[in-house]
């Protein structure tokens, strides 16, 4: 995996310990929504700082396909390693390491849902999901089915237009996408960081038709038409184990 040797773009060094999980993200759409910080602050765990750009906090909805997911040293098994996923996330930082914080991760793989809830303290939910790809255009549909969870539905179609140049480090494009860790919190309020590594995102302009999006209901907000959108065809990623960051 040659991409592990390419690290000059990273904002901090990769962990010295071995990575634990490999995955590929495919056919990704990024829908970005500016929101007033006060809308999100009540939902950000203590110990994390909500980041803003241009005076706004940002929510992003990301539908894609997870492929070839596997632990280090084991092969991928298509029946459990490949599945659709749909994320609702925002942008936070602590200890000088900006990352993402997820409000929801819907997936059509019950094993992945339970494994990520237990092993990574991430808010994964069971969902009924499908996509259709015709002549380069993707139609993506998802309905959350998890027991006792706030209902969330999403439907959109999208088609990439053309590759975008590498964004500058001060740009919104870079700020929204070039994140090399995620944060999660357990039921006792302990905060964890999971480092990841990948090459810089290959971003494309994209044509999008949003049909339905009620994912914001989980945090008491409505998401109307996205202010900004990106597409990316594929990215290989490795992740490390959780690191507790607010030990007392």
Q: Across the chain, how many H-helices and E-strands are there? A: 4, 12
Decide if 107 is inside a domain: yes
Q: Residue 194: enclosing H or E segment and its boundaries?
A: strand 191-197
Residues contacting residue 128 through CB under 8 Å, at least 6 positions apart: 108, 142, 143, 145
List C-alpha distances in Å: 132 to 135, 139, 156, 213.
10, 5, 11, 18
Q: What is the per-residue pLDDT for 7?
A: 98
| 246 neighbors 191 (Cβ within 8 angstroms) | yes
Distance, CA of 197 to CA of 23 (rounded, Å): 11
Q: Is residue 45 part of a domain?
A: yes
Q: What's the total number of domains in the chain? A: 1
Per DSSP bridges, beta strands 204-213 and 191-197 are unpaired
C-alpha distance from residue 229 to each of 24, 25, 131, 190, 203 (Å): 21, 17, 19, 33, 10
Tokens representing residue 226 in the block: 């996205």
Q: 46 in a domain, yes or no?
A: yes
Residue 32 phi/psi, 5-degree rounding, is -115, 135
CATH of the domain at 85: 2.40.400.10
Q: Give a yes or no: residue 14 inside a domain.
A: no
Residue 79: its pLDDT value, please?
83
* pLDDT reported for residue 1: 85
The whole-number pLDDT of residue 248 equals 58
Does any domain span residue 239? Answer: yes
Residue 125 DSSP label: E
Do 149 and 127 meet the contact criterion of CB atoms below 8 Å apart?
Answer: no
What contacts 113, CB < 8 A, 6 or more positions away? 107, 124, 125, 126, 146
Is 141 domain-assigned?
yes
Which residue range is the domain that position 73 belongs to? 2-7+22-244
pLDDT at position 19: 98
Q: What is the pLDDT of residue 78?
A: 83
pLDDT, residue 4, reads: 97
Instruction: Report residues of the chain scoring pLDDT below 70.
Output: 248
Query: Quick check: 143 and 153 in contact, CB under 8 A?
Result: yes
Q: Is residue 203 part of a domain?
A: yes
Which of the 8 DSSP states describes residue 56? B
Would residue 125 count as lying in a domain?
yes
221-243 residue pLDDT tens: 999 899 999 999 999 999 999 99
């Amino acid at each position: 995996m040659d991409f592990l040797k390419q690290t000059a773009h990273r904002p901090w060094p990769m962990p010295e310990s071995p990575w634990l999980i490999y995955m590929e993200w495919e056919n990704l759409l990024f829908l970005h929504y500016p929101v007033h910080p006060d809308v999100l602050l009540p939902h950000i765990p203590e110990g994390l700082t909500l980041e803003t750009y241009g005076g706004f906090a940002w929510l992003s909805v990301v539908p894609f396909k997870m492929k070839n997911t596997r632990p280090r040293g084991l092969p991928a098994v298509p029946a459990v390693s490949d599945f659709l996923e749909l994320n609702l996330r925002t942008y936070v930082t602590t200890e000088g390491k900006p990352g993402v914080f997820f409000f929801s991760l819907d997936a059509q793989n019950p094993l992945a849902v339970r494994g990520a809830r237990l092993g990574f303290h991430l808010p994964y939910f069971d969902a009924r999901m499908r996509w259709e790809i015709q002549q380069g255009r993707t139609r993506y549909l998802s309905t959350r089915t998890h027991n006792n969870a706030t209902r969330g539905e999403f439907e959109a179609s999208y088609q990439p237009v053309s590759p975008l140049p590498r964004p500058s480090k001060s740009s919104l494009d870079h700020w929204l996408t070039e994140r090399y860790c995620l944060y999660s919190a357990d039921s006792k309020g302990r905060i964890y960081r999971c480092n990841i590594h990948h090459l810089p995102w290959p971003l494309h302009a994209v044509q999008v038709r949003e049909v339905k999006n009620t994912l914001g209901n989980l945090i008491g907000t409505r998401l109307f038409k996205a202010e900004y959108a990106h597409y990316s065809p594929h990215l290989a990623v490795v992740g490390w184990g959780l690191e507790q960051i607010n030990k007392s």
